[in-house]
Amino acid sequence: MSNLASETAITHLIVRYAELVDTGDFAGVGALFEHAVFVGSGAPVEGRGGGVERMLRDSVIRYDDGTPRTHHATTNIAVEVDEEAGTATARSYVTVFQALPDFPLQPVAAGRYHDRFARHDGQWRFTERRVHIHLVGNTTHHLRG
């Protein structure tokens, strides 16, 4: 696999996470992190056995349409690949927007992702995601507790 092909595949994984969360497909997010650890504001969550899916179900509010009514904008993606080792890292920014009928469109959180990846059987997959949220808006319609 070429370096450019690897960077593209890894960028697609990063973007896929945002799509899955925003569509409320927490099982899909769980599958994406099956071989990874997710580190956010709490204790690290192992993806094995549905840990990431459970974490999302327990913390993110979903509405009648099955979605959290969010839009994750992931930008400034920088990928570094070690083709020989079959590993990679990525840094990116995230801004989470949310809107509801009684909650106008607004950013509710902004921060950075620090990700690690490994190639297994020719396919890239997450091995770690660290979420660093620096700016927090009104998350009362987004997160439980």
Torsion over CA: 26, 54, 36, 68 (sign): positive
Give which of 79, 64, 78, 82 is closest to 24, Cα–Cα. Answer: 64
Contact criterion met (CB below 8 Å) for 52 and 62:
no
Bridging pattern class, strands 87-100 and 45-46? unpaired
Give, as one character, the DSSP assignment of residue 118.
E
What is the chain's pLDDT, residue by residue, as a tens digit (145 residues)? Answer: 688 899 999 999 999 999 999 999 999 999 999 999 999 988 999 999 999 999 999 999 999 999 999 999 999 999 999 999 999 999 999 999 999 999 999 999 999 999 999 999 999 999 999 999 999 999 999 999 8
| CATH code for the domain defined by 3-136 | 3.10.450.50
pTM reported for the whole predicted model: 0.94
The phi and psi torsions of 31 (rounded to 5 degrees) equal: -65, -40
What local confidence, expressed as pLDDT, does residue 41 receive?
A: 85
Q: How much is the pLDDT for 2?
A: 80
Instruction: Give domain limits for the chain.
Output: 3-136
